């Protein structure tokens, strides 16, 4: 009973309202043995679907709500509101405290809470922030994120940040899209036994039973390239429109960072190499 109630509540939260539903239409008898799944395009409806053979019946399954390129407004409002609140929290805690952040949360260096240096006035100069307690510091920030409140979920001693969604926490891999069981191979890649979903099984599997495969993963050297400044901070690259309405990245020596006198550190992401000015420094 409790499990059923919780499952329904999980589907009834605001973010779930925007999920699209699918309708199934029987189109005839199955023409294949066992089961089969094939992607399809529904002419006139302007959306993708699937033709599925199962238990002797062939049917067409299509999403009957928004098109593939629609981004539900309810999700957009919730996500943007949360990110604005997260940005305010980051501003209050200060750059020296933040280690990593994602859509609705962040990892902070609790040892830096006692160092008032770069922290915002509202947090660093308060008596609660000065004592360095985590709960006190989060309470100080709460006034800037109302009605949302920060809460401490867990703590780690060792952290490796590869990208916003690729972290190693106390030796445990939290890499988006990569199973936690993945093992490192001699060539630097990772491999893991995976559990392909039903659609894959119907297209590529074996009618005699469930098929598992070994999947290989390769991590990019940098998932969030940016300008590394001489003071150790990372600045986001800028973009602009050209005369023919193309988007291009702005070379560093033409960026706002160079204009205000910031200098590049030695060594920049390879993806930005062509945009780095020839001379060292700002």
| 140-146: long-range pairs with CB below 8 Å, 24+ | 140/92, 141/88, 141/89, 141/92, 141/93, 144/88, 144/89, 144/91, 144/92, 145/85, 145/86, 145/88, 145/89
CA dist., res. 239 & res. 280, Å (int): 22
| pTM > 0.75: yes or no | no
| Cβ pair 207, 35 in contact under 8 A | yes
Q: What average pLDDT does this structure show over 134-150? A: 87
Paired with 106 in beta bridges are: 101
The token pair at 242 is: 């050209």
Distance CA 269, CA 282 (A): 16
Highest average pLDDT, of 17-26, 244-253, 265-274, comes from 244-253
Residue 193 has a pLDDT of 92
Give the model confidence (pLDDT) of 14-59 as tens digits. Answer: 555 555 667 889 999 998 877 888 889 988 777 888 999 988 999 9
| pLDDT digits 0-9 by tens, 65-120 | 654 445 556 667 778 899 999 999 999 888 788 888 888 889 998 887 755 444 44
Higher pLDDT, 156 or 271: 156
For residue 278, the model assigns a pLDDT of 41
CA dihedral 108, 113, 115, 116 (to 10 degrees): 100
Exposed, middle or buried: residue 94 (CB in 10 Å: 0-12, 13-18, 19+)?
Answer: buried
Cα–Cα distance measured from residue 182 to residue 114, given in angstroms and rounded to the nearest whole number: 38
What pLDDT, on a 0 to 100 scale, did the predictor assign at position 136? 81
> Which pLDDT tens digit goes with each residue over 187-241?
989 999 998 887 788 778 887 888 899 999 988 766 667 888 998 888 888 889 9
Pick from 174-183, 253-262, 263-272: least confident: 263-272
User: In this predicted structure, what is the pLDDT of residue 214?
Assistant: 93
Query: Quick check: 30 and 53 in contact, CB under 8 A?
Result: yes
């Amino acid at each position: 009973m409790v499990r059923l109630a919780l499952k329904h509540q999980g589907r009834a939260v605001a973010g779930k309202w925007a999920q699209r539903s699918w309708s199934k239409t029987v189109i005839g008898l199955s023409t294949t043995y066992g089961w089969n799944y094939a992607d399809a395009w529904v002419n006139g409806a302007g959306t993708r679907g699937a033709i599925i053979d199962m238990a002797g019946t062939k049917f067409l399954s299509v999403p009957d709500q928004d098109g593939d390129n629609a981004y539900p407004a309810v999700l957009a409002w919730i996500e943007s509101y949360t990110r604005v609140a997260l940005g305010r929290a980051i501003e209050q805690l200060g750059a020296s405290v933040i280690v990593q952040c994602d859509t609705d949360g962040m990892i902070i260096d609790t040892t830096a809470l006692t160092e008032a240096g770069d922290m915002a006035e509202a947090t660093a100069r308060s008596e609660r922030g000065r004592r360095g307690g985590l709960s006190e510091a989060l309470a100080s920030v709460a006034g800037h994120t109302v009605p949302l409140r920060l809460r401490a979920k867990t703590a780690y001693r060792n952290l490796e940040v590869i990208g916003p969604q690729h972290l190693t926490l106390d030796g445990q891999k939290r890499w988006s899209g990569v199973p936690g069981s993945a093992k490192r191979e001699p060539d630097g890649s990772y491999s893991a036994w995976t559990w392909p979903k039903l659609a894959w099984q119907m297209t590529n599997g074996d009618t005699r039973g469930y098929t598992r495969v070994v999947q290989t993963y390769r991590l990019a050297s940098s998932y969030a390239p940016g300008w590394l400044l001489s003071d150790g901070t990372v600045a986001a690259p800028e973009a602009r429109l050209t005369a023919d309405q193309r988007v291009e990245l702005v070379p560093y020596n033409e960026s706002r960072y160079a204009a205000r006198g910031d200098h590049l550190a030695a060594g920049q992401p390879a993806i930005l190499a062509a945009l780095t000015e020839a001379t060292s420094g700002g």
